Amino acid sequence: PAQELRYDGKVVVVTGAGGGLGRDYALFFASRGASVVVNDLGSSLVGGGASHSAADSLVEEIRQKGGKAVANYDSVENGAAIVQTALEAFGRIDVLINNAGVLRDKSFAQMTDADWNLVQAVHLRGAFLVTKAAWDTFRRQKFGRIIMTTSSTGLYGNYGQANYGSAKLALVGLSNTLAQEGAKYNIHCNAIAPIAMSRMTESTFPAEVAPLLSPKCITPLVAYLCHDSCAETGGAYELGGGCVTKVRWERGQGHVFKADASFTPAAVQAEWGAITDFSHPYYPKTITEVNWMELLERANAASAGPAHQGAPLRFD
Ligand code: NAI
């Protein structure tokens, strides 16, 4: 069997660790030698109320098993306080798992400002604030591992989840940029789209599938991505019930139009097949791999003369 990956001496912050996936992450990291900050506001699924009991009982359980953990009850909207708990209790922070979340599912027609704002605040702004608070430490120590929790709803959309899906895809954008900005400091950031039975999904999945969709099937990938030995950064993964798959953007070859007056809506219509064709795809990982300069040169080369001599585009 492969050698056990350990986290001795590491300090791991898990947001929203009072239940569901976060609880399993915290138990796992503590069992492998890490010191864990168990953050949970203890709110309801839709974001009301607050209670210390979920975080406290998990910290107690970890300690009884011989592990090291402290509780923190701040909302991720108060990210600096969560990181402060790690620094005060353990003197450092190495791994940050942005996991806290709430739902306010409604059709877009029914969705209120409050439904939108709460979900954006917890998922997107919360992840921003906690990560921002840890960033300087990660840079200084030239080590950091960050997980952003996205969702298949973010990647593909889902009925009744405009607030949640938009926040979740934004986290992929955040993750991709942090992966690039963090690269030279050995700060790695990856996004996961989990599928698991928790209070968040108990009304989505039938009870029979619960044993197949354990949170325990999410932890191994998260823990691997957060290990010293893992070089992966800027990735996104869908996983659940033992399946783990990387997802990425696919780009076709497209069609290059002459950059002149012949480039009309009707020309777009005529080339729709080529524009939407994926038979020769490529998979850009960074913005520089979408080579706009080359595409512009091709567009100019396709013109009858130098581009600046072409008729200007007209939209009247
Ligand atoms: P969960 O509801 O069991 O866990 C979320 C935890 O976050 C709760 O313990 C809650 O008290 C805490 N929380 C809520 N607001 C908070 C705040 N402002 N500050 C700190 N903590 C707060 O749900 P689950 O399934 O474990 O979700 C974990 C993450 O995985 C979430 O980000 C969720 O959106 C995401 N996810 C889960 C899926 C699933 O199939 N379970 C599917 C896709 C994404």
Specify the residue with its C-alpha closest to ligand 1, atom 17.
Answer: 75
Q: Which residues of the chain have pLDDT under 70?
A: 1, 303-316
Specify the residue with its C-alpha closest to ligand 1, atom 33.
Answer: 101
What residues are annotated to the active site? 164
Confirm whether 3 is domain-assigned: no
pLDDT value, residue 299: 76
Tell me, what amino acid is at 214? S
Residues 161, 21 share a domain:
yes
> Looking at residue 313, which CATH number applies to its domain?
1.10.287.4290
Confirm whether 263 is domain-assigned: yes
- Indicate whether residue 133 lines ligand 1 (CB < 6 A): no
Residues 226, 265 share a domain:
no
Residues 263, 137 share a domain:
no
- Indicate whether residue 195 lines ligand 1 (CB < 6 A): yes
Write down the pTM of the prediction.
0.93
Find the 162 Cα to ligand 1 centroid distance in Å.
17
Is residue 4 a contact partner of residue 30, using CB atoms and an 8 Å limit?
A: no
pLDDT value, residue 310: 43
Instruction: Answer with the one of 196, 216, 247 that is the final residue of a domain.
Output: 247
Specify the residue with its C-alpha closest to ligand 1, atom 15.
Answer: 101
Backbone angles phi, psi at 247, to 5 degrees: -120, 150
- Which residue out of 14, 198, 205, 237 has the highest number of ligand 1 atoms within 8 Å of its CB and is therefore the one to mutate? 198
Residues 171, 46 share a domain:
yes
Range of the domain at 274: 249-316
* Structure tokens given for 24: 């399993």
Is residue 95 a contact partner of residue 12, using CB atoms and an 8 Å limit?
A: yes
Residues 214, 269 share a domain:
no
Residues 41, 150 share a domain:
yes
Confirm whether 142 is domain-assigned: yes
The atom number, within ligand 1, closest to the CA of 103 reads 34
pLDDT value, residue 290: 73
Per-position b or e across 217-250, b if 16+ CB within 10 A of its CB: bbbebbbebbbeeeeebbbbbbbbeeeeeebeee
Instruction: Answer with the one of 192, 223, 247 that is the final residue of a domain.
Output: 247
Confirm whether 48 is domain-assigned: yes
pLDDT value, residue 313: 43
Residues 139, 266 share a domain:
no
Residues 241, 254 share a domain:
no
CA dist 48 and 42 (Å) reads 9
Reference 105, options 159, 157, 42, 149; nearest CA is 159
> Looking at residue 34, which CATH number applies to its domain?
3.40.50.720
Residues 311, 227 share a domain:
no
Residues 61, 131 share a domain:
yes
Find the 16 Cα to ligand 1 centroid distance in Å.
6
pLDDT value, residue 1: 62
Structural domain tally of the chain?
2
Residues near 86 by beta carbon (within 8 Å), at least 6 away in sequence: 11, 13, 37, 92, 93
Helices (H), the chain: 20-31, 53-64, 79-90, 113-119, 126-141, 152-156, 162-182, 219-225, 265-270, 272-275, 292-301
CA dist 57 and 63 (Å) reads 10
pLDDT value, residue 195: 97
Find the 160 Cα to ligand 1 centroid distance in Å.
17
Is residue 175 a contact partner of residue 154, using CB atoms and an 8 Å limit?
A: no
- Indicate whether residue 105 lines ligand 1 (CB < 6 A): no
Instruction: Answer with the one of 204, 221, 247 that is the final residue of a domain.
Output: 247
- Indicate whether residue 21 lines ligand 1 (CB < 6 A): yes
